[in-house]
Amino acid sequence: MSTDEEYEEDELQALSETEGECEDGVLQFSDSLTGEVKPRILLMGLRRSGKSSIQKVVFHKMSPNETLFLESTNKICREDVSSSSFISFQIWDFPGQIDFFDPTFDYEIIFRGTGALIFVIDSQDDYVEALSRLHLTVTRAYTVNPDINFEVFIHKVDGLSDEHKIEKQRDIHKRANDDLNDAGLERIVLSFYLTSIYDHSIFEAFSKVAQKLIPQLPTLENLLNIFISNSGVEKAFLFDVVSKIYIATDSSPVDMQTYELSCDMIDVVMDISSIYGLANSEAALPYDKESTAIIHLNNSTVMYLREVTKFLAMVCFLPKDSFGRKGLIDYNFHCFRKAIEEVFDVRVKVQQNRKLLGQRRWSKLTAANTR
């Protein structure tokens, strides 16, 4: 992702960004004003496999039942979720019937700037065609950009029994890898996830995909570890509140149910704040700097939510006794929050430096050419 050539190319393009839903084949790049390169997540897969529904449910808080009314996507829809979400990704939703050999689209440019390619397979349907498409897509993308993370969502598994799910995953995994081996491309690594928009599995899968693309992840994990060990906290997540994707957690193992309960807590907080917590002004937001929530469960566990940045919240689980020392926890949290701010400040500074470097090189080049 971070090659100098790529930065130069972005400067050459220098297209300003438009917020918008569907682009008609005109490929937009990063905003040359802020200099932030936003990695791309591509959602690909056959027609009706569930790509648009996934995007709507994860990033637009659409209820899964409402997705039944979504129409077929017939253009590439590029969604920039960075304004409302921490995740500064572009989600490209491709129509299922896209043709790689169509000269209108320059796939090289698309794949070049891509961080992760999610291929969605409808597990309730016959997936032979899906597998061959997966193979074609992956091999093409790999030749352009070998650094892409290839993620396969085995989707719509809500109707299947656990045994059935594992069986499907095993089968798809085997076939996909066999195809790659036959083509001599064993080095391509595919990750598989069982997903459904009707439960939390899609959020969990997206969390993992997003985490692989965040360069600061080890630092964030480290900070969380330090926080929990000094505060008597058992588990802590750093959530993006809009999408309910967690971008980091401490090193202790993640229990799906704990994750789900955290998502539900965020829902409760957002919903109640939207009813009672809006100031009288028009531009009021339910989630602000002082957003906090405490939930006491009957099993002596306390759930504690604190705002970290305008997109991020920390949700942690601690025993009731630890919560007795709330003052200490709040102080530690204060330090943690400051550290997070610094981590992200560094990122912005690095981006700006790179941009300056790129500009200098460019002006040297043009100066050299004119001589």
Partner 1 sequence: NQSSSVLLMGKSGSGKTSMRSIIFANYIARDTRRLGATIDVEHSHVRFLGNLVLNLWDCGGQDTFMENYFTSQRDNIFRNVEVLIYVFDVESRELEKDMHYYQSCLEAILQNSPDAKVFCLVHKMDLVQEDQRDLIFKEREEDLKRLSRPLSCTCFRTSIWDETLYKAWSSIVYQLIPNVQQLETNLRNFAQIIEADEVLLFERATFLVISHYQCKEQRDAHRFEKISNIIKQFKLSCSKLAASFQSMEVRNSNFAAFIDVFTSNTYVMVIMSDPSIPSAATLINIRNARKHFEKLERVDGPKHSLHMRMR
Binding mask 270-289 for partner 1 (x = CB under 8 A): -xxx-xxxxx----x-xxxx
Tell which positions 136-175 bind partner 1, by CB under 8 A: none
In the bound complex, what is the minimum distance in angstroms from residue 296's beta carbon to partner 1? Answer: 5
In the bound complex, what is the minimum distance in angstroms from residue 201's beta carbon to partner 1? Answer: 14
Confirm or reject binding of residue 180 to partner 1 (CB under 8 A). Answer: no
Confirm or reject binding of residue 309 to partner 1 (CB under 8 A). Answer: no
Please, are residues 54 and 94 in contact by the beta-carbon 8 Å criterion? no
Q: Which two tokens stand for residue 101?
A: 């050999």
Amino acid identity, residue 43? L
Q: Which two tokens stand for residue 135?
A: 């193979």
**Angle 150-154-268 from CA coordinates, rounded to 5°:** 100
Confirm or reject binding of residue 334 to partner 1 (CB under 8 A). Answer: no
Binding mask 69-88 for partner 1 (x = CB under 8 A): --------------------
The secondary structure of 26-38 as a DSSP string is PPP---TTT-PPP
Q: For partner 1, which is the closer residue by CB, 279 or 346?
A: 279
# residues near partner 1 by CB under 8 A: 33
Q: What element of type H or E holds 106?
A: none
Torsion of CA 52, 146, 40, 32, to 10 degrees: -150
In the bound complex, what is the minimum distance in angstroms from residue 172's beta carbon to partner 1? Answer: 27
In the bound complex, what is the minimum distance in angstroms from residue 12's beta carbon to partner 1? Answer: 45
Please, are residues 309 and 86 in contact by the beta-carbon 8 Å criterion? yes
Confirm or reject binding of residue 252 to partner 1 (CB under 8 A). Answer: no
Q: For partner 1, which is the closer residue by CB, 229 or 274?
A: 274
Burial environment of residue 260 by CB neighbours within 10 A (0 to 12, 13 to 18, 19 or more): middle
Positions that interact with partner 1 (CB under 8 A): 65, 257, 260-261, 264-265, 267-269, 271-273, 275-279, 284, 286-299, 301
